[in-house]
Structure 1
């Protein structure tokens, strides 16, 4: 029988709160697997599926940190910075679910040291087999160390618990495609736009970086195919090299790397602040057969 977790305690200990944290009740089984349910928030545009890949990554990465907090005998607040993720679609979930549908997510810690964590996570619809898995690697920072390293991020505003800003895509300025590449620019985020993510230290959530990357992938795919087709992410890896302050403008540069096989396409997307590489995604997407 699963044990229900104290949500306020879990959020305090992981430094991730509402509205970025979007789970209802969380529970843990005797094997240390944490389970919760979420509803879709992010817009899909032409992405096919019940939830977009970036939003899946958001919820699963959060749940991995919750599993870490729930399975360690330590009441301190720790910051779990996702530094690497491996996304694999292991099944195919239809896209025509009604608004408000709940999706079940699970997370298990597979390895932990004093400064590093690996969590294996999945998402499924009801009692069906999981349709996606995400292996997440985190850097673990104590609260004093995080405050010292990122003191220049600190602000007084507190947008925790407000209505979610994550239902709206980040504004991007687009350049015309140049051969097999495309560039989009953001003007930075307000503290409100990253509400609930590391309170008092507004920073770009990795999931929002990934969402912007996949929007550039979508636009590049449509340019390559000369058609606004639907698409779905089959696999991908993401490396988050730097925690980016919210106010920093980010440049997203995406390259089309050719056909993986029939109806499957490879892309690489980099995120820069000034000229410094801060994140990279390598992904394979497919266009579902009609």
Structure 2
């Protein structure tokens, strides 16, 4: 929604919006059980320069309580610049099916958890990157974040420190990651409630995210 708001000010021509930094905050503790009410979103955004955009989005429940807020900064590339920058991803024959693959979380492979460290891999095919991007398949950052949250939750899972992240901050997204090559995820517990996670091919840390977890509600 935030990206749609930002794109409305861009004018004619295709552009690519690559998230570079972002902050997601949970403002209201989750209610027990499944949600039983509708959710509403308000989003604002626009271009600050021809090559950059920002967006803010707010998620409300039907009682107008703000549940989350999200702020995101984007690098904006026109079609020619994107093709030149990511020509190594070009694959016009890649089969990116129309149906969305994003209904299921990414599977973690080769998971290891030891002390304050955890590591895993995710493996995506081009058809798991639907819409991201036509002719240039790349690992969707938002989809990758679900795997990073999964690994972080495994690292902090214990009777006194559980629950969903209350803050997720994208610190760095240097470039796009290619499908067909394992993406290595690493998590390092910094204290009782904060985890620093990264993702990249091999030893690279292409994406770096900080997550803060809250204690479960007291009964």
- Check whether TM > 0.5: yes
Aligned match of 1:235: 167
| Equivalent residue number for residue 47 of structure 1 | none
CA RMSD of aligned residues (A): 2.1
Counterpart of 1:252 in structure 2 is 185
* Secondary structure in structure 1 of the residue aligned to 2:2: helix
- Asked if 1:269 corresponds to 2:197, the answer is yes
In the other structure, the counterpart of 2:6 is 68
Give structure 1 stretches of 5+ with no counterpart: 1-62, 260-264
Aligned to 1:116: 52
Per the TM alignment, residue 230 of structure 1 is displaced from its structure 2 partner at its CA by 5.1
Larger % of helix: which?
1
Of residues 183, 196, 202, the one that matches 2:137 is 202
Structure 2 residue runs of 5 or longer lacking an equivalent are none
**Which residue pairs with 1:90 in the alignment?**
27
3-state DSSP class of the match of 1:276?
coil
Distance 2:147 2:160 in 1: 18
Change in 2 beyond 3 A, CA 1:286/1:190: same
Structure 2 vs 1, CA of residues 103 and 196 (structure 1 numbering), >3 Å: closer, same or farther?
Answer: farther
1:161 deviates by 2.8
Rate the CA distance shift 1:110–1:130 in 2: closer, same or farther, 3 A.
Answer: farther
Q: Could you say which residue in structure 2 is the equivalent of 1:136?
A: 72
Residue deviations 1:61-95, cap 9 Å, x none? xx2221122123x1211000001101112223425
Cα deviation for residue 229 of structure 1 reads: 7.3
Q: Is the 8 A contact 2:163 2:214 kept in 1?
A: yes
Aligned-partner Cα distance in 2 for 1:105–1:203? 27
C-alpha contact (below 8 Å) 1:203/1:244 kept by paired residues: yes
User: 1:133 and 1:250, CA in 2 relative to 1: closer, same or farther beyond 3 A?
Assistant: same
1:91 is paired with a residue whose SS is coil
TM-score by length of 1: 0.68
Q: Please give the alpha-carbon distance, in whole angstroms, between the structure 2 residues aligned to 1:175 and 1:232.
A: 20
Contact 1:158–1:199 (Cα < 8 Å) also in 2: no
CA deviation profile, 1:139-195 (whole Å, cap 9, x unmatched): 000011111111221222343532x21122222223432221011112x31121111
Counterpart of 1:280? 208
TM-score by length of 2: 0.89
Match of 1:218 in 2: 153
Q: Distance in 2 between matches of 1:159 and 1:254?
A: 30
Q: State the number of aligned residues.
A: 215
Cα distance in 2 for residues equivalent to 1:228 and 1:151: 48
Query: CA deviation digits over 1:232-267, x for unaligned, max 9?
Result: 2111211212211122211111111112xxxxx111
CA–CA distance in structure 2, aligned partners of residues 273 and 198 of structure 1: 19
CA distance in 2, matches of 1:135, 1:89: 12
Q: Does 2:22 align with 1:80?
A: no
Cα distance in 1 for partners of 2:161, 2:129 equals: 30
